Amino acid sequence: MQQQVMACFGGCVPEGEGGGPYLSHHEAKVARLRDKELTKLLNKQHKEDLKRLKILLLGTGESGKSTITKQMKIIHINGYSFAERLEKIKDIIRNVRESLLSMVGAMHHLNIPLENAESRASADFILDQAARQDTETSEEFWDHCEKLWSDCGVQKCYDRSHEYQLIDCAKYFLDKIGEIRSLNYAPSDQDILRCRAITTSIQHIEFDVPDAGQSVKFRVYDVGGQQGERKKWIQVFDNVVAILYLGDTSCFDQTLREDTSKSRLIESLEIFEQVWNNSKSRLIESLEIFEQVWNNRFLRPVSILLFLNKIDILAEKIAKGRSIKDLLAQHPGVFPDYDSCPVSSNERIEFMDAFPGGTEQTTKRRSRSSSRTDINPEVVKTAVYIKNLFTRIVRGELSINKTIQPHPKEWHQNHSCEYFYTCAVDTNNVKKVLEGCRTLIIRKHLESVILSCGTSGRNGQQRAPEVIPEMTISGHRYAVVTAIVLAIEEQ
């Protein structure tokens, strides 16, 4: 048996021995060659893998991970081809259908009546579609969608969307049904960025970024963020250079969406109730997962780049009168007092610089004057407060996840956490943030490679110790990139 197994893997089994299928001398030779060829290929692939800086996107469901990978495709690869754009139409149709289904279902629970009697037929038509997975549409479907979305009752229900589960892009697509239903419709970059499709497997994209005359290769892994998907995260922890953690700043007034809630939301009242009664806050979930990642022993040397995302939706919510204080009041003694948390002028400038809407020049000018009159101060205060919750976890001053024993400061000395305010659907903002991240990732990676190599260089030779600190600290980016490539090749 052992011999048969060996033969399957190209091992040579002498003719006439044993009772299994034998390989002739020629066959054995071919198998050996194939084995050698395969090993060579695998080794080459492994070396290639090691030369790519592996980045992991983590965060709870709907925090914006996949949107960031789409931005990377737009910014660093060739963007979306016409055929790829057309493929997204199916997801957009699903988004439209799911949004209306969620709202019609929620109207029942929130006791909000349809204002127009004619909308009843449209609501029934959409409810009939609940179990449909396909994306066939008809003129009748689009007419009903338009009719429903224009009903004042549906609009009232939309305004209370924090009380049930509604995807973030609902309004964006429902407002443009006229365009989407046209036969000539091809989704724009913004439509692709806004479109929501659940990520259920580990996906990755690869791209090269020129950096100081060198080409740095990145491989970015996107994983599903829903509860059931998180057990898969560990599979990709190996050799990770940095983690981009997406924290949704706008979700402070929302509760968790369960994996099961997707397509059967209306179909099964039982599941609807389950989702309805699931009152765990999305923000608390995000903080808990962040704490877990920050204290995970497999990720001890891995730095985290924290993206405080959806700042545009945060601003919309504050404009509607929503406040994080309601959440804090539900958890007395857990969080620092909101009103007495100061916002420094640096913190204010950081946020204003990142907030969409300022052109490059005006942003700088506004930074100097440290105020942008188009941003409500309460938005800044909430964003900074949420940022401080994450940074307190980093400093070990706040613990949300009671199952985690925070480590002492020294445990964290080989990794750090940097934060950025982001609006993942804004290409300018993401481009700027990614540029900052790239430099940080390269610097941190070099530091960790040097740490793990100690002072030994190529072929075990002693590397001149004085060269290393100079390379890491002086910031000569050319030297840094070259050193990384060499160090990775050595691994």
Query: Binding site membership: which residues?
Result: 62-67, 193-199, 222-226, 309-312
From 57-65, 322-330, 341-349, 379-387, span contacting ligand GDP (CB under 6 A)? 57-65
The active-site residue out of 60, 69, 71, 226 is 226
- Active site (annotated) includes residue 322: no
Q: Is 452 helix (H, G, I), strand (E, B) or coil?
A: helix
- Active site (annotated) includes residue 98: no
Q: Minimum distance between the CB of residue 92 and ligand GDP, rounded to whole angstroms?
A: 10
Tell me which of 425, 433, 434, 441 binds ligand GDP, using CB under 6 A. 425
- Provide the pairing of β-strand 303-309 with 240-248: parallel
- Provide the pairing of β-strand 240-248 with 53-59: parallel
DSSP state letter for 486: H
Give 12-25 as a DSSP string: ---TT-SSSPPPPH
CB under 5 to 8 A by kind: which of ligand GDP, Mg ion, none does 423 bind? ligand GDP
The active-site residue out of 191, 222, 426, 447 is 222
CB under 5 to 8 A by kind: which of ligand GDP, Mg ion, none does 129 bind? none
Q: Which of residues 63 and 102 has its CB atom nearest to Mg ion in the complex?
A: 63
End-to-end CA distance of the chain: 37
Distance CA(220)–CA(72), nearest Å, equals 9
Distance CA(366)–CA(379), nearest Å, equals 17
- Check the CA dihedral 190-194-198-201 and report its sign: positive
Instruction: Please report whether residue 67 would count as binding ligand GDP according to CB under 6 A.
Output: yes
Tell me which of 28, 31, 58, 61 binds ligand GDP, using CB under 6 A. 61
Whether residue 148 contacts residue 119, with contact meaning beta carbons closer than 8 Å, is answered with yes
Instruction: Give the residue among 396, 463, 149 at the shortest CA–CA distance from 471.
Output: 463
Tell me which of 10, 105, 225, 247 binds ligand GDP, using CB under 6 A. 225
Tell me which of 103, 169, 315, 324 binds ligand GDP, using CB under 6 A. 169
- Active site (annotated) includes residue 45: no
CB under 5 to 8 A by kind: which of ligand GDP, Mg ion, none does 348 bind? none
Instruction: Please report whether residue 199 would count as binding Mg ion according to CB under 5 A.
Output: yes
Distance CA(476)–CA(480), nearest Å, equals 6
Instruction: Please report whether residue 309 would count as binding ligand GDP according to CB under 6 A.
Output: yes
- Active site (annotated) includes residue 62: yes
- Active site (annotated) includes residue 374: no
- Provide the annotated binding site for Mg(2+): 66, 199
Count the site residues for ligand GDP by CB under 6 A. 24
Q: Is 237 helix (H, G, I), strand (E, B) or coil?
A: coil
Strand partners, 100: none
Whether residue 135 contacts residue 90, with contact meaning beta carbons closer than 8 Å, is answered with yes
Q: Minimum distance between the CB of residue 410 and ligand GDP, rounded to whole angstroms?
A: 32
Question: CB under 8 Å to 53, separation ≥6 — which residues?
Answer: 216, 217, 218, 219, 241, 242, 441, 442, 445, 484
Q: Which residues are catalytic?
A: 62, 67, 196, 222, 226
* Chain positions contacting Mg ion, by CB under 5 A: 65-66, 199
* Chain positions contacting ligand GDP, by CB under 6 A: 59, 61-67, 167-169, 193-194, 196, 199, 225, 246, 309-310, 312-313, 423-425
